[in-house]
Structure 1
Amino acid sequence: MAKLIYQSLALAFLFSLFLSPSSAHYKSQEASNLPIDFKGSFNQVFAFGDSYTDTGNAKFLGGFNFSGDTKNIPLEWLKNIKHGKDPASRMSNGLLVVDFLCKSLSLPTLTPYKDPSANFSVGANFAIAGSTSLPSDYFLGKNLSSLIWKGVPKNFQTQIEWFNNFLTKSGCQGKNTASCKVQMQDSLFWIGEMGVNDYTRAHGSSVSLQWLSEMSVRTVCKLLKTLLTAGAKYIVVQGLPPVGCLPMDISMCPLHKLNKMGCAAAVNSAIMIHNQILQRNLEKLRKMNPKCTIVYADYWNAFLTILTNPKKYQIEEPFKACCGSSGTQLNFNSHSLCGSPGTSVCKDPSKHISWDGIHLTEAMYKHVTDLFLNQGFCRPSFADLIKSKKSM
Structure 2
Amino acid sequence: MASPPLCSFCHGRFTLSFSTTIHEVLLYLLLLSTFLSSLPDSVLGECKNPPVIFNFGDSNSDTGGLVAGLGYSINFPNGRTFFRRSTGRLSDGRLIIDFLCQSVDTTFLSPYLDSMGSTFLNGANFAIAGSLHFIGDAGFRNGLYVIDIGQNDLADSFAKNLSYKEVVKKIPSVILEIKYAVEDIYAQGGRKFWVHNTGPLGCLPQKLSTVQKAPDDLDPYGCISSYNDAARVFNEALLLLCEELRYEKKDATIVYVDVYTIKYDLIANSTKYGFSSPLMACCGFGGPPYNYDVRVTCGHPGYQVCDEDSKYVSWDGIHYTEAANSIIASKILSTDYSTPRIAFDYFCN
1:202 to 154, 157, 180: 157
Equivalent residue number for residue 190 of structure 2: 232
Q: Deviations over 1:341-374 (max 9, x none)?
A: 2211100366111000011111111111100112
Preserved contact between residue 198 and residue 260 of structure 2 (Cα < 8 Å)? yes
1:254 to 188, 213, 216: 213
Equivalent residue number for residue 34 of structure 1: none
Change (3 A) 1:184 1:81: farther
Change (3 A) 1:49 1:196: same
2:82 to 57, 80, 83: 80
Q: Does 1:245 align with 2:253?
A: no
Q: Which amino acid aligns with 1:81?
A: F
Which ranges in structure 2 are unaligned for 5 or more consecutive residues?
Answer: 1-44
More helix by proportion, 1 or 2?
1
What is the distance in 2 between the residues matched to 1:63 and 1:219?
A: 28
Bigger Rg, structure 1 or 2: 1
- Give the 3-state SS of the residue equivalent to 2:141 in structure 1: helix
Equivalent residue number for residue 128 of structure 1: 128
Equivalent residue number for residue 217 of structure 1: 175
Q: Deviation of residue 381 (structure 1)?
A: 2.1
Q: Deviation of residue 78 (structure 1)?
A: 1.8
Equivalent residue number for residue 190 of structure 1: 146
Q: Deviation of residue 219 (structure 1)?
A: 2.1
Equivalent residue number for residue 113 of structure 1: 112
Preserved contact between residue 50 and residue 105 of structure 2 (Cα < 8 Å)? no
Change (3 A) 1:241 1:38: farther
Change (3 A) 1:244 1:211: same
1:345 to 293, 305, 327: 305
Equivalent residue number for residue 265 of structure 2: 305
Q: Which amino acid aligns with 2:181?
A: L
What is the distance in 2 between the residues matched to 1:300 and 1:46?
A: 22
Equivalent residue number for residue 145 of structure 1: none
Identity fraction in percent: 30
What is the distance in 2 between the residues matched to 1:286 and 1:349?
A: 44
Q: Deviation of residue 199 (structure 1)?
A: 1.9
- Give the 3-state SS of the residue equivalent to 2:131 in structure 1: coil
Q: Deviation of residue 40 (structure 1)?
A: 2.6
Q: Deviation of residue 267 (structure 1)?
A: 1.0
Q: Deviation of residue 198 (structure 1)?
A: 2.2
Q: Deviation of residue 200 (structure 1)?
A: 1.7
Q: Which amino acid aligns with 1:51?
A: S
Preserved contact between residue 198 and residue 212 of structure 1 (Cα < 8 Å)? no
Which ranges in structure 1 are unaligned for 5 or more consecutive residues?
Answer: 1-36, 133-155, 173-182
Aligned Cα root-mean-square deviation (Å):
2.3
Aligned residues: 299
What is the distance in 1 between the residues matched to 2:222 and 2:285?
A: 20
Equivalent residue number for residue 265 of structure 1: 225
What is the distance in 1 between the residues matched to 2:287 and 2:274?
A: 24
What is the distance in 1 between the residues matched to 2:336 and 2:177?
A: 26
Preserved contact between residue 41 and residue 386 of structure 1 (Cα < 8 Å)? no
Equivalent residue number for residue 101 of structure 2: 102
Q: Deviation of residue 306 (structure 1)?
A: 2.0
Q: Deviation of residue 79 (structure 1)?
A: 5.2
Q: Deviation of residue 375 (structure 1)?
A: 5.0
Q: Which amino acid aligns with 2:121?
A: S
- Give the 3-state SS of the residue equivalent to 2:230 in structure 1: helix
What is the distance in 2 between the residues matched to 1:127 and 1:327?
A: 30
Preserved contact between residue 221 and residue 267 of structure 2 (Cα < 8 Å)? no
Q: Deviation of residue 63 (structure 1)?
A: 6.3
Q: Deviation of residue 305 (structure 1)?
A: 2.2
The more displaced of 270-279 and 220-229 is: 220-229
- Give the 3-state SS of the residue equivalent to 1:94 in structure 2: coil
Preserved contact between residue 61 and residue 95 of structure 2 (Cα < 8 Å)? yes
Q: Deviations over 1:235-291 (max 9, x none)?
A: 110000102111011122413322222111111111011000010111000001112
- Give the 3-state SS of the residue equivalent to 2:91 in structure 1: coil
- Give the 3-state SS of the residue equivalent to 2:54 in structure 1: strand
Q: Which amino acid aligns with 1:129?
A: A
Change (3 A) 1:376 1:61: same
In the TM superposition, structure 1's runs of 4+ consecutive aligned residues that sit over 4 Å from their partners are none
Equivalent residue number for residue 24 of structure 2: none
TM-score by length of 2: 0.79
What is the distance in 2 between the residues matched to 1:307 and 1:50?
A: 21
Equivalent runs, 1:1-392 vs 2, <5 Å = 39-62=47-70, 64=72, 70=75, 73=77, 78=80, 80-81=82-83, 87-115=86-114, 116-132=116-132, 156=133, 159-160=134-135, 163-164=136-137, 172=139, 183-185=140-142, 187-192=143-148, 194-203=149-158, 205-206=161-162, 208-251=166-209, 252-256=211-215, 257-348=217-308, 351-374=311-334, 376-383=336-343, 386-387=345-346, 389=347
TM-score by length of 1: 0.71
Q: Deviations over 1:168-204 (max 9, x none)?
A: xxxx3xxxxxxxxxx523x322112x12122222225
Equivalent residue number for residue 11 of structure 1: none
- Give the 3-state SS of the residue equivalent to 1:237 in structure 2: strand
